[in-house]
């Protein structure tokens, strides 16, 4: 299911332009418009899930697949060996701004211990 007024659903539907790095039937990855590192992608399920809180067991294959996509993108972007960080902000205290589950892939430089 997708949500009409969700920013990332609109990106998934290609209604809002983005720099897409990967796409398949279940997952899309695109560049963050305000990157905080040389590599900064957002990887999302196309299905609208609000946050980690909505990852019930039926979504385990999807999330496993999504992490396979993250591995592949890390390889393509050359950060597999140098290292990278996957961040998922959840809820207000977690600093989540966009209410559609997303994983930040950050790398290309030594990252500060603290993000956000
Ligand atoms: P979060 O704080 O985890 O919810 O992060 C939301 C992220 O979405 C931020 O890093 C924003 O820079 C990014 N963002 C917001 N609008 C867009 C957009 N239209 N395309 C790509 N990234 C976006
Ligand atoms: Zn959405």
Q: Which two tokens stand for residue 82?
A: 């140098």
Residue 28: per-residue pLDDT: 98
Q: What is the dihedral of CA 19, 37, 62, 68, to 10 degrees?
A: 100
45 C-alpha to ligand 1 centroid (Å): 15
The per-residue pLDDT for range 17-32, each reduced to its tens digit, is: 999 999 999 999 999 9
Q: Which two tokens stand for residue 66?
A: 């999504």
Residue 114: per-residue pLDDT: 58
**CA-based max dimension of the chain:** 39
> What percent of the chain is predicted at pLDDT more than 70?
97
The protein residues having their C-beta less than 5 angstroms from ligand 2 (an ion) are: 3, 6, 8-9, 48, 100
Residue 101 has pLDDT above 80, yes or no: yes
H or E stretch at 74: helix 60-76
Q: Is 89 in the pocket of ligand 1 (CB under 6 A)?
A: yes
Atom of ligand 1 nearest to the CA of 34: 12
Residue 112: per-residue pLDDT: 82
Average pLDDT, the chain: 96
Residue nearest atom 17 of ligand 1, based on CA coordinates:
33
Residue 3: per-residue pLDDT: 87
Domains of the chain: which residue ranges? 7-107
The per-residue pLDDT for range 58-92, each reduced to its tens digit, is: 999 999 999 999 999 999 999 999 999 999 999 99
Taking the domain 7-107, which CATH number applies?
A: 3.30.428.10
Residue 115: per-residue pLDDT: 53
Residue 5: per-residue pLDDT: 94
């Amino acid at each position: 299911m997708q949500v009409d007024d969700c920013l990332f659903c609109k990106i998934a539907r290609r209604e809002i332009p983005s720099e897409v790095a990967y796409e398949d039937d279940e997952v899309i990855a695109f560049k963050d418009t305000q990157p905080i590192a040389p590599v900064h992608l957002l990887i999302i399920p196309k299905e609208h899930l609000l946050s980690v809180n909505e990852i019930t067991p039926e979504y385990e294959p999807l999330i496993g697949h999504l992490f396979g996509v993250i591995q592949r993108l890390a390889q393509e972007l050359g950060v597999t060996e140098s290292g990278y960080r996957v961040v998922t902000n959840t809820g207000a205290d977690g600093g989540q701004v966009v209410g559609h589950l997303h994983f930040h892939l950050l790398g290309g430089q030594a990252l500060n211990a603290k993000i956000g």
